[in-house]
Amino acid sequence: MGLTDLLFFALSAVAIVSGWRVFATDSMVRASFLLLLSFVAVGLIIVMLAAPYIGVATVFMMAVEMMVMALFMVMFMMNPAGLNPMMMVHQHRFSIAAGVLAFAGLTAAILFTSFPENSVDPSTPVVHDLGIELLGPSMLIFETAGVTLLATMIGSVILSSRSGRFGMADQGSKPPGLEPDGEPAGRQPEQGGGHHHH
Amino acid sequence: MTTFLAALLLILFLSVGFAGAAVADRAIPAFLAGQTAPSWRLSLADAVRLLQTQRIRTEAPDALLWWLAPALYLALAIVGLAVIPFGQDLVAIPSEVGIVVWGSCEALTIVAVFMFGWSANAPLALIGAYRYVAIGLPAMLLSMFVLIGAALPAESLGFIEIVEAQRTVWNVVRQPAGLILFLMLGLAISLRGPFDYASPEDLAGGVTADVSGPGLLAWKIARLTMLVSVSAVTATAFLGGYLGPILPGFVWLLLKTAVVLLVLIWAGSVFARMPPARMMSVIWTMLLPLSFLMLLVVGVELLLWG
């Protein structure tokens, strides 16, 4: 077993253990960081598979993504600053069944597939070829997928933030007054784009 | 052999750069305040004082993350510097996707700073952490567009090719505004002056509000090391890196890095910090479109005369 194998097994162990801990921890922020660790290990394995751009880009994107995910979870879950302990799993029976099925299916796929062994020639310009593929023949697919994902994200944020803490967002939600029927509490939004008229 | 030599040079670069940064960090504000010969011992005295200070504890912190965050910050600074070439074949970690590696270091730095503030389980540190994420993420986006502008003339994501492509003209001439935008990222990523939303005075130290003694010293060491790294990346991406006559490439890179570092420390002590909400709209509505424009300008220039 060479150094490469050792490195592969070490990274795989990190990816699996931290992936499991995501569901065992009691905090949204810790869960995000553990998931990030798992993805970083996977990204480094991809680098070992002679795909440097995809591997490093995975680390890069996941760092940003997990940070944003932690932030949005804390914003939407009404869990003050993500500090309160909470259960990270739900729908136990369904998830156990889904997990067992997925594990069995993937294991069967691994065991019954004869994987080809054509290692990449070190002199192949893999990054260059990937760039030509992404921005050439496959450009339409990737751009469509990108724009669709962005639209989905914006749409889901708008839909899930419509019912705010003080009523529907599109009906001018106002916080309750400090006394019954009093003026709404807090700072009032400025009228007319922030210009004051005296 | 060259990798070994590059690793040695990396250690030398880090040590010299860190010592210089530590002295300049105290000397330049003192100099700007009118002291003509500020003592170089100030930073050393600071370090000794921090080593001897008692440690304080917050209520129920996440001790593991709190300890890991400064180590992660320091490690990211070192990895970021390791992909920077000191000569044509002299690089500690040769990578054909150098600027993506550096981008990952930037992104993970934001995670490290958030981790540090969040794990203290204390209000001011937490506010600093959330503020920093809000400002740090768009600032990082800026730097990536600007870096793509630096990679365009090289037709490569590797730092060696980016430097070699600057033999005719430095990237700072191609996109002068790009250099300024990247310096802003430098301030943000080394938690300095106008872009320090993580540990500013208005939050009584923010993420560092409840850290004392050796822990605070470790954080400050990591922060200064990141300043050295981001200065070296700026020098490589915009000021021709190791290119220069007579002197060896390593010395040229060190000199250019020193200039960028001094500019960053100067800017950090001269410019004021905007309120976070206003800074956010400045970044998203002014600076990001500016970075797109710089990218467009470089692209058009290369199409017409490249």
Check A57 against B100: CB less than 8 A apart: yes
Check B104 against A33: CB less than 8 A apart: no
B48 token code pair = 């000794």
DSSP letter for each residue of B136-148? HHHHHHHHHHHHH
Sort strands A163-164 and A167-168 into parallel, antiparallel or unpaired: antiparallel
Point out the residues of chain B with pLDDT beneath 50.
Answer: none
The total number of structural domains in chain B stands at 1
Check B137 against A68: CB less than 8 A apart: yes
**Paired residues of A177 in beta bridges:** A184
Model pTM greater than 0.90? no
Check A83 against B95: CB less than 8 A apart: no
Check A67 against B97: CB less than 8 A apart: no
Q: Closest Cα of chain B to A96: distance in Å? A: 30
**Does residue A187 register a pLDDT over 80?**
no
What is residue B42's predicted lDDT score, i.e. its pLDDT? 83
In terms of C-beta density within 10 A (0-12 exposed, 13-18 middle, 19 or more buried), how is residue B127 classed?
A: buried
Judge whether A53 is closer than 8 Å to chain B, CB to CB: yes
Q: Are A55 and A47 in contact (CB under 8 A)?
A: yes
A83 → chain B, closest CA residue: B121
Judge whether A132 is closer than 8 Å to chain B, CB to CB: no
What is residue B254's predicted lDDT score, i.e. its pLDDT? 93
% of chain A exceeding 70 in pLDDT? 88
Let me know the angle formed at the C-alpha of A128 by A122 and A133, rounded to the nearest 5 degrees.
120
Residues of B in contact with A57 (CB under 8 A): 97, 100
Q: Are B266 and B231 in contact (CB under 8 A)?
A: no
**Strand (E) positions, A34-176?**
163-164, 167-168
What is residue A190's predicted lDDT score, i.e. its pLDDT? 62
The shortest CB-CB distance from B126 to any of A52, A60, A81 is to A81
How far is the C-alpha of B146 from the C-alpha of B18, rounded, in Å? 26
Give the position of tokens 């995809």.
A54
Taking residues A32-54, report their average pLDDT. Answer: 93
How far is the C-alpha of A92 from the C-alpha of A94, rounded, in Å? 6
Residue B70: which domain range? 2-305
Judge whether B75 is closer than 8 Å to chain A, CB to CB: no
Taking residues A74-101, report their average pLDDT. Answer: 80
The shortest CB-CB distance from B137 to any of A30, A64, A83 is to A64
Backbone torsions φ then ψ of B89, nearest 5 degrees? -120, 20
Query: Pick from B179, B96, B108: which is nearest to B140 by CA?
Result: B108
Judge whether B177 is closer than 8 Å to chain A, CB to CB: no
> Residue A20: CB partners within 8 Å, gap ≥ 6?
none
Helices (H) and strands (E) in chain A, counts: 6, 2
How far is the C-alpha of A130 from the C-alpha of B42, rounded, in Å? 51
B127 → chain A, closest CA residue: A81
Domain locations in chain A as residue ranges: 1-88, 127-167
At how many degrees (to 10) do helices A28-48 and B98-119 cross?
160
Residue from B58, B108, B115 to probe the interface with A (highest A Cβ count within 10 Å): B108
The shortest CB-CB distance from A127 to any of B62, B140, B157 is to B157
What is residue A165's predicted lDDT score, i.e. its pLDDT? 66
Judge whether B68 is closer than 8 Å to chain A, CB to CB: no
User: How do residues A97-144 score in pLDDT, each as one tens digit?
Assistant: 999 999 999 999 999 998 888 888 888 888 888 989 988 889 999 999
**Does residue A83 register a pLDDT over 80?**
no
Q: Closest Cα of chain B to A30: distance in Å? A: 9
Judge whether A147 is closer than 8 Å to chain B, CB to CB: no
The shortest CB-CB distance from A36 to any of B111, B130, B140 is to B111
Backbone torsions φ then ψ of A164, nearest 5 degrees? -80, -175
Residue from B76, B93, B118, B280 to probe the interface with A (highest A Cβ count within 10 Å): B118
What is residue B74's predicted lDDT score, i.e. its pLDDT? 96
Taking residues A180-189, report their average pLDDT. Answer: 74
The ipTM value here is: 0.89
Length of chain A: 198
Q: Are B80 and B88 in contact (CB under 8 A)?
A: no
- Distances A32 to A9, A37, A57, A158, B139 between C-alpha atoms, Å: 23, 9, 18, 23, 22
**Does residue A79 register a pLDDT over 70?**
no
What is residue B80's predicted lDDT score, i.e. its pLDDT? 94
